[in-house]
Amino acid sequence: GAGVSQTPSNKVTEKGKYVELRCDPISGHTALYWYRQSLGQGPEFLIYFQGTGAADDSGLPNDRFFAVRPEGSVSTLKIQRTERGDSAVYLCASSLRPLGLAGGLGEQFFGPGTRLTVL
């Protein structure tokens, strides 16, 4: 597709359940980012992939959160034992190359987000 897509657009789950959120980056973009945005707040960095590897996962709040990008394209954010405090919009972004690499302009293209509600 032309832009970053995320599925599902909305996810409602019960406390304690496991959820997976998917991100399809723009074709050819090597860098992929996950953010979480709570109401009235700016996006909060979670993790960033360069290719298949997590280059920086310092933003993951705890070990219930995990993300993978096995083939360097699609990424899945996984949340175990969800809690009400996990409710937020989860945003994915991709960029052609990350900042710091040759030609890496750093412009991130964002997807529409997945709104997660934990009851």
Beta carbon of residue 16, minimum distance to another protein (angstroms, whole number): 28
Among the listed residues 19, 25, 30, 50, the single contact to another protein using CB under 8 A: 50
Nearest to another protein of 46, 79 (CB atom):
46
Q: Is 113 in the site for another protein (CB under 8 A)?
A: yes
Residues 2-31 that bind another protein (CB under 8 A): 31
Amino acid at 112: P
Q: Answer yes or no whether residue 94 interacts with another protein by CB under 8 A.
A: no
Binders of another protein in range 53-92 (CB under 8 A):
55-56, 58-59, 89, 91
Quote the CA–CA distance of 93 and 35 in Å, as a whole number: 8
What is the full DSSP assignment across the chain?
A: --S-EEE-SEEEE-TT--EEEEEE--TT--EEEEEEE-TTS--EEEEEEETTEEEE-TT--STTEEEE-TTSS-EEEEE-S--GGG-EEEEEEEESS-TTSTT---PPEE---EEEEE-
The smaller minimum CB distance to another protein, of residues 82 and 108, is found at 108
| Contacts with another protein, residue ranges (CB under 8 A) | 31, 33, 35, 40-45, 48, 50, 55-56, 58-59, 89, 91, 93, 98-100, 105-113
